[in-house]
Chain A
Amino acid sequence: MLRLESLSASYRGLKALQGVSLEVGKGEIVAVVGANGAGKSTLLKSIAGQVAIEGTIMFDGQSLHRMPAHEITRLGVGLVPEGRRLFPRLSVEDNLRLGAYAKRGTADRFKPLELVFSLFPRLQERLSQRAETLSGGEQQMLAIGRALMTQPRLLMLDEPSQGIMPRLVDDILAAVQKIRDLGVTVLLVEQRLAEALEIADRAYVLQTGRIVMSGPAREIAADDAVRRAYLGI
C-alpha cells in the first residue's frame, strides 16, 4: 500500500532522514521505533507532505512526491500529529467536524462518527466541551477520532502514548488494533518499544535517520541488539 524508497529529508542542511526504505502492506500494523531525534516524526511528516523530501513515496501506486499536503489527506492518508494539535478552543464536536472537512458533499461525510463514538464513548459524552478541557488521554482519543473522520485508508500515528497515563495507553493501543481490524492500515511511530511491538505485525528500527533493522515485530522485541540501538548505545 505504501512504499518508500531511499527517502531523505533535511532541515536546514541537517539530514533528518537518510535513504530510508520501508513498506507497509494493506491491513498491517507497522511500527517504527527509535530514540528521540531518530527521525520518526520527520518520517511521518514526509509521507504527509509537510516536509520537503528526496526519494520515492508511493501510495497505492501513486507518487506522493511534491503533492500538496491537503491532497495527500484527500487521497486517504490520515495523520495523527505529534502533540495532537487539536483546536483547543473549539468543542469536541467542532474538532470532529473539521476532520470531516476533506470529504465534499454531505451524504457520507459524518459517517465515521458512529465508529469514532464506538471506539471512544467518552468523546460522545464530552461533545460540547472545549477540546482544551479534556484530559491528555481524551485529547489523544479526539485526535485519533478527528483523523478517522477524514476516512483514511492509511492511518499514521505519531507517538500516541505521549503524555498519557499508562492505563489509557493500553486503551488507545487497543483502539488502534480495532481500527486495523476494520480495514484501516496503520503506521505507528512510538518511543514505547514494548507496547508498540505488542500490537504491530512488523517493525522498523530507526536510528539517526537510518533504518538499522526491520522484521516481524515479535523477533525485534526479542532482540537484544534492538535495545542497544534503541537506547543509542
Chain B
Amino acid sequence: MDNFITRRRRHELMVAGGLLVVAIVVPLFIRDVTALNVIILSLLFAGLSQAWNILGGYCGQISLGHALYFGMGSYVSTLLYVHGAIPPSIGMFAGAAVGGLAALLVGWPCFRLSGHYYAIATVVVGEIGYLLFLNWDYVGGATGVYIPIAKPSLLNLQFGKDKLPYLYVVLAFCAATWLAAWLIEGSRWGYAWRAVKDDMVAARSLGVNIFSSKMAAAAISGAFTGLGGAIYGLYVGYIDPDSVMAGHFSILIALPAVLGGVGTLWGPILGAALLIPMKELSSSYLGGSGRGVDLMLYGAMIVVVALAQPQGVVSLFRRRAHGPA
C-alpha cells in the first residue's frame, strides 16, 4: 500500500533537492543587482505563499489577513534589535513565534465562522492590526522604524551592499517552508487537514477534531509568515505599517499559491516565479505610476487562471497519476 505514495514523495524530494542545488549555484554567476533583487523577492514570496498554502491550501481556510502575521514578525524582530539589542538572527525566531501566536489568537474566534465568513473576518482583523500599529508610538507609529546599520555578519543578518548572502537566507526560508509542506502532506495531520477542507462532516465522523486541526494549521502558517516578515524587514532596512502590514500584502502572500495551484507543493513556488518578476518589472518600468498597474495585472492573471486553468498553473505539469479523471 505504501509503495505508490512513497515513490511519488521520494520523487518530489529529489526534484526539490535538484532545484535547491540550481538555486544555490546559478546566483553565483549573476552580477546584476536588479536581477538578484527580483530573485530574492521571488524566493521570499514563494516561501510566504507556501506558508499561506499550509492553512489556505491544505486546510482550506482562506485567510486574507496574513499581512498581520507578516508585519508582526518584522516588527518583533526589528524592535527586539532596536530596543533590546537582540540580534536579528535570533529575533526573527521570536518574530515567528509571535506570528504563530497571533494566528492562534485570530483563529480562536474566527474559526467558529466557516467559508467566506472566515475570509472576511481575517480581512477585518488584518485592518485592525494595521490601524493599531499606525497609531502606536512605541512601535514608531506612521513614521516607522529604521533598522540600524550594523557590521555585516550572519548574526546581524546584515550584509552591507552584498545581495548574495540575503539570497541564501531567503532561499533557506523558502526551502524550509517547502519542506514543512512536504512533511505535512505525508503526515497524519496533512490527511486530517485535507479532510477538513473537503468535507467537515465526513472528517468529523472519521475522528478528526476540526477546530484543533484548523488551529494547528494556522499556527504553523502564521509562524512561517512571521519569520518571512522578519527577513523582509531586514532586507529592506526600514519598516512602517504601510510597508509591512498593509492589506495588499495579504493579497500578495496568497496570490502566488492561488495562481500556481492551491493545496499543491509546487503551486506557490511556480506562482511566485511568474508573479513577482512581472510585478517588479511593471513597477520599475512604470515608476511611480506602477502600483495601480500591479493591481490590474493581478486581476488579469486571476481571471486568466480562473478561466483557463482553475486548478492553478501547476496542473499543466501534473501527470495523470491518479488514473482516469
With A91-B322, A110-B1, A128-B4 in contact, is A98–B201 under 8 Å at CB?
no
A87 touches B1 (CB 8 A): no
Asked if B204 and A69 sit within 8 Å, CB to CB, the answer is yes
Q: Bound complex: CA of A85 vs CA of B203, how far in Å? A: 9
Would you call A128 and B321 a contact (CB within 8 A)?
yes
Contact A101 B206 (CB under 8 A): yes
The interface-forming segment of A22-30, A56-64, A73-81, A196-204 is A73-81
Closest to A48 in B: B205
Check: B207 CB closer than 8 A to any chain A CB: yes
CB A224 to nearest CB in B, in angstroms, measures 37
Q: Assess whether A138 is interfacial by the CB under 8 Å rule.
A: no
Are B191 and A128 neighbours in the complex by a CB distance under 8 Å? Answer: no
Contact indicator per residue, chain A 117-141, by CB within 8 Å of chain B (1) or not (0): 0000000001111100100000000
Q: Contact at A50–B201, with CB atoms within 8 Å?
A: yes
Bound CA span A52–B287, Å: 59
Kindly state the interface size class of chain A when it binds its partner: 35 or more
Inter-chain contacts of A78 with B (CB < 8 A): 205
Q: Is the interface of B mostly helix, strand, loop or mixed?
A: helix
Which residues B194-229 have CB closer than 8 A to chain A? 194-195, 198-199, 201-210
By beta carbon, the residue of chain A nearest B4 is: A128
**B277 CB → nearest A CB, Å:** 31
Closest chain A CB from B278 CB (angstroms): 30
**Residue A66 is within 8 A (CB to CB) of chain B in the complex:** no
Q: Are A102 and B207 in contact (CB under 8 A)?
A: yes
**Once the chains are docked, how many angstroms separate the CA of A80 from the CA of B203?**
12
Q: Are A129 and B201 in contact (CB under 8 A)?
A: no
CB-based contact A128/B1 at 8 Å = no
Give the shortest distance, in Å, between B183 (CB) and chain A (any CB): 16
Chain A CB within 8 A of B188 CB: yes
- Contact status A101-B4, CB under 8 Å: no
Query: A140-154 interface mask toward B, CB cutoff 8 Å, 1 = contact, 0 = none?
Result: 000000110010000
Taking a contact as CB atoms under 8 Å apart, the answer to whether B205 and A50 are in contact is yes
Q: Give the distance to chain A from B100, nearest Cβ to Cβ, in Å.
A: 23
Whether A50 and B204, one on each chain, are in contact in the complex, defined by CB atoms closer than 8 angstroms, is: yes
Given A48-B205, A73-B205, A130-B325, do A113 and B1 touch, yes or no (CB 8 Å)?
A: yes
Check if B231 is an interface residue, CB within 8 A of chain A.
no
Contact with B along A82-118 (1 / 0, CB 8 A): 0001111111011001110110100000100100000
Q: How far is the CA of A70 from the CA of B206 in the complex (A)?
A: 7
Q: Is the CB of A93 within 8 A of B5?
A: yes
A55 neighbours in B (Cβ, 8 Å): none
- List, in ascending order, chain A residues with CB within 8 A of B203's CB: 98
- B202 near A70: Cβ-Cβ < 8 Å: no
The residues of A that contact B208 with a CB separation of less than 8 Å are 70, 101-102
Q: Is A216 an interface residue (CB 8 A)?
A: no
Q: How far is the CA of A107 from the CA of B97 in the complex (A)?
A: 34
Give which listed residue, A71, A101, A126, A150, contacts B191 with CB less than 8 A. A101
Known: A128-B321, A130-B322. A68 touches B209 (CB 8 A): yes
- Whether B206 pairs with A73 at a CB distance below 8 angstroms is yes
Do B191 and A97 touch across chains, with their CB atoms under 8 A apart?
yes
Q: Of A81, A127, A133, which contacts B1 at CB under 8 A? A: A127
Chain B residue numbers with a CB within 8 Å of A93 are 1, 4-5
A99 touches B4 (CB 8 A): no
- B1 x A94 contact (CB < 8 A): no
Contacts of A146 in B (CB 8 A): 206
Q: State A71–B208 Cα separation when bound (angstroms).
A: 8
Residues of A within 8 A of B (CB): 48-50, 68-71, 73-74, 78-79, 81, 85-91, 93-94, 97-99, 101-102, 104, 110, 113, 126-130, 133, 146-147, 150
14 more contacts with CB within 8 A, not counting A101-B195, A101-B208, are A50-B205, A74-B207, A87-B195, A90-B194, A91-B322, A93-B4, A97-B191, A110-B1, A128-B321, A128-B322, A129-B322, A129-B324, A130-B323, A147-B205
Q: Which 6 A-B pairs have the closest CB atoms?
A: A102-B207, A73-B207, A85-B202, A129-B323, A69-B204, A79-B205
- Residues of chain B at the chain A interface (Cβ within 8 Å): 1, 4-5, 188, 191-192, 194-195, 198-199, 201-210, 321-325
Can you list 23 A-B contacts (CB < 8 A)? A69-B204, A71-B207, A73-B205, A81-B201, A81-B205, A85-B201, A85-B202, A85-B205, A86-B202, A87-B198, A87-B202, A90-B194, A93-B1, A97-B191, A98-B195, A101-B191, A101-B206, A101-B207, A102-B206, A128-B323, A133-B323, A133-B324, A150-B206
